[in-house]
Amino acid sequence: MFATLTLFLVLSPNASLIQAGRDINVLSLQGKQHPTLQKMAEEHAAYQARVHRQGHQGWGGRYSRLQVALPDCNSFKEVANQSWPGQDQTDAAKEAYHSWRQSSGHWSAVNGHCRYWGYAMVLGSNGTWYMCAIFAN
């Protein structure tokens, strides 16, 4: 008899959010992940998680820094989201896209073509996941 080995792959929160987008073929993920956008998305998702509040707090500053860091891009967009309290990582990632789809402005950023992107997801101490994605063209 042979023993069966089952291997479970545990994704990071960011990877879960990206995978959920790939599973539904969002167009933004056809662009390239950019380290500056990724870092800013991670910082903002962590900020939202720390203050337990979803939003675009500080977007003007991020926008100004992006203009300097990516002078070949002339358009930047950001989307933010949060899960239901206690929602698991995978469900929260999937629900983020469902929620973004309900707003034409958010969905046009998430499901639009872009050159570069950064997606991040951080769990707050309140059991709520906070997401941020930033796009550049």
Domain interval for residue 54: 14-136
Q: For tokens 């469900």, name the residue.
A: 91
Domain membership of residue 131 (yes or no) is yes
pLDDT digits (tens, 9 = 90+) for 31-86: 999 999 999 999 999 999 999 999 999 999 999 999 999 999 999 999 999 999 99
Asked if pLDDT for residue 7 goes beyond 60, the answer is no
Instruction: Give a yes or no: residue 117 inside a domain.
Output: yes
Residue 133 in contact with residue 48, Cβ under 8 Å?
no
Residue 8 falls within a domain, yes or no? no
Question: Domain with 58 in it: what CATH number?
Answer: 3.40.33.10
